[in-house]
A and B are shown apart, each in its own frame.
Chain A
């Protein structure tokens, strides 16, 4: 095998039923579950251990479910457009797939813009900082880490829209697989938000 193309980069392995990239992505997501799992455990432990009356009420938390809810909606739609991009690649329609990827990037960017301009910035301005109390510490840490994941997703999608798109011409199946893996990651990032939204916005 000195000629050296590794097997199972495109075709699925007969036993696992996955190509290597997809198995790798699932394993990576398993570690991500542990990462956010650790943080959610920290949230639970700190909240349960908080002395009576120190956890902020809904008013004290200053988090509007309307902004959060709208952002949730944005992410859910972006998950749908992500799937549409992959489906169109499967149907051999690259221009349409690319359009859906661009829409996904726009929705994700909108999410971050709203988060920063309507929440982070005014909160910080009003003196609600990570050091204010444990709740705000958790709020900033969890949402910022999630935001970093969104940002990472945007970078990867921009790569596949722009410089990485050449792969479609040389090896369309491989390109489609990479978009599928990006999609898996993207749905996971969505799912994290689905958990973050209620524990930060609704459960105070």
Chain B
């Protein structure tokens, strides 16, 4: 952009709030996303109380929330400090929405992608700096709309994060807010993905060929394509649902629908299944949006901390591209029980089995990289190492869900919850933590505390398994994921003990995050000063100063070799940075 060359002494607003520097925007994304992640997690900790101790008054919050939001709110939502079923549904829907669209994706794509990717390819900034700023602020507005929806009449959206019609069409006003918020979030990720792709194609430093790009950049590139092409159909679906709710159309409303004994005033002729198809056409690629950048982060950390080149770098690149393509043709494995017909089910079961192959390749390459490496067990590496088995559990428990026969039994039980949380929570979120510990010195110029970091790691790892492992047993016992009080059913009552265990795990996990929060803020202020390359890593971001100045590199870097040249025989040092010419 012509007006990109603004001076360095700009006002506070221009520099930190409405900044067009990719690094500031990356930090804005990451911090906002971390706050949303914590907020979404708090919603879940409240739900866990209701699940573990149904009908008992919530400690502290049972009194605090009514006094905060007034008597009227308390009577409908929290009579006697017990959350109402409607509030429970709202919290569930908003937990999913916030964690995915406002937490994880903005953190690993908007945050890490924005900050690290241009540095890794040796670019001075993103291709469209103003657009970059806009995508952050559109995301921020979307987040505010989602938060405001809690105060809409009838509370926030309560039809699950999937907003299945016709339930969502007849739901309270919060659903309309949800749809409007989603349109903002989709627009934001659309602007972001265009920017990412153009930057990766156009702004690579001299010598940075595609196969010299760090794997993280490849992961971001494929992710950007998924966001670009998968999100618009959800925007279309959202627009149609908005019309159903606001203008009284009947795209998703079948003829003669009866809700609570009342015939609905819709012309009919719509198809509830249409919503599911449009939704999952986005939401399955979305699963890979959640996991691919995580793989990217983990790869960088494992390479730097095993002091070895990544085993099968090219294989990993081909796998991630193949994953990207295939993720567009597996969506209906979320819909086996809708009665689509056996031949369609067979098709999607087949593609689902196929897509597991590149995922396993990625994991295997990383596992083999560890073999005979001289591993440094710092906090970032510990999180990265625990990602591998945790993701493996999440991935392998997904296989029975990809086959119609077993899926029919497991669908909508706690087994599903266990499965995808293993992928996203101790998977992606652990990768995000690893990324924070790894790149924190680059962003702030200071190291994080290893002691607090390791405490954070071990407590989180134990607690998170206590939360999610019991869910597999509960799911196999047939307990539905939607229940407000599972003791109403005999088989649920028999498994109530596991629910209590899981809940205590969740609260312990909440407490474990105190180590992280303390570490994060204390290290900004008191952390040990970091050099430009504290991990002795090879990729370009470590050749810039910590923190990098506006414009990133003092001298435009030239790239001479592939990204992970560690322990090259005959070298004096055990790493050979990409920008250093032959010694």
Contacts and interface: CB of A to CB of B under 8 A. Distances in A.
B250 A131 contact: yes
Interface of A: 1-9, 13, 15-16, 20, 23-24, 27-28, 30-32, 34-39, 41-42, 45-46, 49-51, 54, 129-134, 136-138, 140-141, 145, 167, 170-171, 174
A117 to B, nearest CB: 20
A42 B240 contact: yes
A24 B274 contact: no
Given A31-B228, A171-B2, 4 more contacts: A4-B124, A31-B193, A46-B270, A134-B250
A34 to B, nearest CB: 4
A193 to B, nearest CB: 17
A2 B125 CA distance: 10
A23 to B, nearest CB: 5
B345 to A, nearest CB: 18
Contacts of B194: 24, 27-28, 31
Contacts of B197: 23, 27
Given A1-B124, A46-B274, A141-B249, A38 B551 contact: no
Contacts of B234: 38
Interface residues of B, number: 54
Nearest to B549: A2
B233 interface: yes
B556 A1 contact: yes
Interface of B: 1-2, 4-5, 124-125, 127-129, 131, 190, 193-195, 197-198, 201-203, 228-237, 239-240, 243, 247-251, 255, 266-267, 269-271, 274, 277-278, 281, 549-554, 556
B278 A6 contact: no
A1 B247 contact: no
Say whether chain A's binding surface is mostly helix, strand, loop, or mixed.
helix
Contacts of B554: 2
B290 to A, nearest CB: 19
Contact of B202 (A20, A31, A134, A136): A20
A45 B274 CA distance: 8
B105 to A, nearest CB: 16
A23 B198 contact: yes
15 contacts: A1-B552, A2-B554, A6-B4, A7-B203, A16-B201, A20-B128, A20-B202, A31-B193, A35-B236, A38-B232, A45-B274, A46-B269, A131-B266, A137-B247, A145-B239
Contacts of B128: 20, 24
In the A-B complex, the 10 residue pairs with the smallest Cβ-Cβ separation, listed nearest first, are A137-B249, A38-B236, A131-B248, A2-B551, A38-B233, A35-B232, A34-B232, A1-B124, A130-B247, A4-B5
